[in-house]
Amino acid sequence: MPPIGPLDSSRVPRFAGFATFARLPRIDEVAHADVAVVGVPFDSGVSYRPGARFGPAAVREASRLLRPYHPALDVSPFAERQVVDAGDIAANPFHIGEAIEKVQQDAEALMAGGTRLVTVGGDHTIALPLLRATAKKHGPVALLHFDAHLDTWDTYFGEPYTHGTPFRRAVEEGILDTAALSHVGTRGPLYGKRDLEEDRRLGFGIVTSGDVLRRGIDETVDALRQRIGDRPLYISVDIDVLDPAHAPGTGTPEAGGMTSRELLEILRGLRDLHLVGADVVELAPAYDHAEITAIAASHVAYDLVSLLALGKSE
């Protein structure tokens, strides 16, 4: 039986109907899902501007204009795989530890039948439970982390679980393959040179936004592909990897970032890798203008879904 695709926009206007991601069916409307887009409206781990709890709803709204054929990747993802909207994981906004457990538990339940996830946040705290669930299925995974920031700090205000600490915790827990860890798009001031030294000790390689500018897309993609190899890969995209001109709606903006075109072209260069899961986080719609950030995030999610559709089924 062929996959059930999105609503036909020639029959139901894009501004009408249920606001699922890309107007796809809900998970309860299909017998099995190969790929599920799931929201995590949680932002209790932020250190500056709040509001990412409203990110999933904004991405769904901006995704109404997405179309079923991806010309750059030459794939119709919703025809190749059964893609669905799995709704939102209801994480406790008053207890970070409990929220992390809930996200992991629900992610594991969604993945149990072979479904792969593209998760929309929410703040970057949610990457840790998502990586735990992914590693439980695939073992330690390669990580490709697009972000203005390292997110490998130890604590904030003495707390070990925040949006700035998930990847240090993930290395400590042994759920990442430390031979294949990369940050892309980092920039801006740090607390000290020690931040970089500790990040290297954890196993990360860094491609700054300036490196992308100087080296170009192709050289950047080649270096990332060599580092990842054929390992199971998780991609985590903090939308603040983009310059504030392309993503003003985020909690910790930094000048000098990548363009949305650069980010999408790098993602498209990763086709045929063993992608097993991904997230897009840190969209804070209250700071957005004309849905600029939400549109960028929805296209990033669409490209991640397309990459999963091009890969092998679980």
User: What pLDDT score was predicted for residue 10?
Assistant: 80
Question: Global pTM?
Answer: 0.97
Q: Is the peptide bond before 55 cis (omega within 30 degrees of 0)?
A: no
Q: Determine which helix (DSSP H) or strand (DSSP E) holds 169, and give its type and residue range.
A: helix 166-172
What is the Cα–Cα distance from 120 to 106, expressed in whole angstroms? 14
Residue 227: which of 306, 140, 143, 167 has the closest Cα?
143
pLDDT per residue of the chain (314 residues) written in tens, 0 to 9: 789 999 888 888 888 888 999 999 999 999 999 999 999 999 999 999 999 999 999 999 999 999 999 999 999 999 999 999 999 999 999 999 999 999 999 999 999 999 999 999 999 999 999 999 999 999 999 999 999 999 999 999 999 999 999 999 999 999 999 999 999 999 999 999 999 999 999 999 999 999 999 999 999 999 999 999 999 999 999 999 999 999 999 999 999 999 999 999 999 999 999 999 999 999 999 999 999 999 999 999 999 999 999 987 76
Question: In a 3-state reduction of DSSP, which class is residue 150?
Answer: coil
Residue 204, strand partner residues: 181
